[in-house]
Amino acid sequence: MQTPGVAIRSTNRSVEDGKCIVVTGAAGFIGSCLVRLLNDVGAENLILVDDFSRSDKDPNLEGKKFRTKIHRDDFFSWLQEQSSGIEACYHLGARTDTTEFDYSVHQRLNVDYSRRIWEWCTRDGIPLVYASSAATYGDGALGYSDAHDLPEKLQPLNPYGVSKNEFDKWALVQENTPPRWYGLKFFNVYGPNEYHKGRMASVIFHAFNQIRDRGYVNLFRSHRPDFADGQQLRDFIHVSDVTAVCHWLMGSPSASGLYNLGTGRARSFEDLAKATFSGLDLAPDIRFIDMPEDIRDKYQYFTEADMSKLRTAGYANPFRTLEDGVEDYVRHYLATGRYC
């Protein structure tokens, strides 16, 4: 196993001596939690793909077992040197910053790179699970159905959402596809291993730090008359539920296509803040501040996943409640600095 945090720029090592699983975005939040789940179910023959340039992401992979790490820029040339031996690909790597307004960045990493992943999986007959996003739904005016006729009508609110929707639309019209493929529209994911995400970390992460440092939580004031302060609603889902669905789909006979991945129940930011205080055994102290102007007209006030397609496909496990998930995250990870 390679030393965590060291990017492999090239390797001649073949994968033919054992079936391997590729995880892109492996050093990131969801990717590293998926690596942990795969290890827990006995999968250690993992090919981890990322840029591995940020030392603050190194702890995400500490203690995890894998075969090798490959820089994302070298992955396709590495593939050309390998014999067959890869049995699955989880493509979770992406530029996820919703405040990055240079679309060329999203085009390169979220669209063009994803197309190359798709084409490789198609050519070599490899099942593919990839990360889409609820950001594709824009302001939610058209609802949150994962029906395949909706992406052409959607109007995402930021370049990140546009890029994810563009790839979804492209995937849906391909005649040549991987043997099975699943594009998962992640809603608001939270949980361990997001320490490095800065401004883009979950509200729970920021709430915990505010409580620790100041004793209170700032939430965005509503700038719409139909939503009271703190009553903006999102579908919050614990990362353990996300990785469980990723793993289940890869082994299922479910029909290929787009699938929502949330809990199916929207909750308020006020509920979330109160759950964070509860995880610290403190009484809530919630205050409201103006939303930054650069995101004010691009802000989703309500998201709620329609989960009927995944349930119909056979996924029967319950999702964690907001209170249970936040308490676990706060008590067992944020309060102790642990990683999963």
Q: Which of 103, 197, 216, 339 is catalytic?
A: 197
Sign of the alpha-carbon dihedral angle for 6, 38, 67, 105: negative
DSSP labels, 114-157: HHHHHHHHHHHT--EEEEEEGGGGTTSTT-----TTSGGG---S
Is 160 an active-site residue? Answer: yes
How open is the CA angle 97-323-143, to the nearest 5 degrees? 55
Please report, for residues 89, 189, 332, 340, the alpha-carbon distance to residue 37 in angstroms, rounded to integers and kept in the order given. 15, 16, 17, 9
d(CA 77, CA 9): 10
Q: Quick one: which of 146, 66, 137, 102 has its CA closest to 300?
A: 137
3 state SS of 57: helix
Please report, for residues 125, 256, 268, 281, 284, the alpha-carbon distance to residue 275 in angstroms, rounded to integers and kept in the order given. 44, 36, 11, 10, 9
CB 107 within 8 A of CB 123: no
**Both tokens assigned to 73:** 């820029």
Radius of gyration of the CA atoms of the chain, in A: 20
Which residues neighbour 256 within 8 Å (Cβ) at sequence distance 6 or greater?
Answer: 177, 178, 180, 181, 182
CB 241 within 8 A of CB 233: no
Which DSSP state fits 231? -
Residue 305, amino acid: A
Q: Which of 137, 160, 182, 333 is catalytic?
A: 160
**Both tokens assigned to 190:** 């939270």
Beta pairing class for 86-91 and 68-71: unpaired
Is 197 an active-site residue? Answer: yes
Catalytic site positions: 160, 197
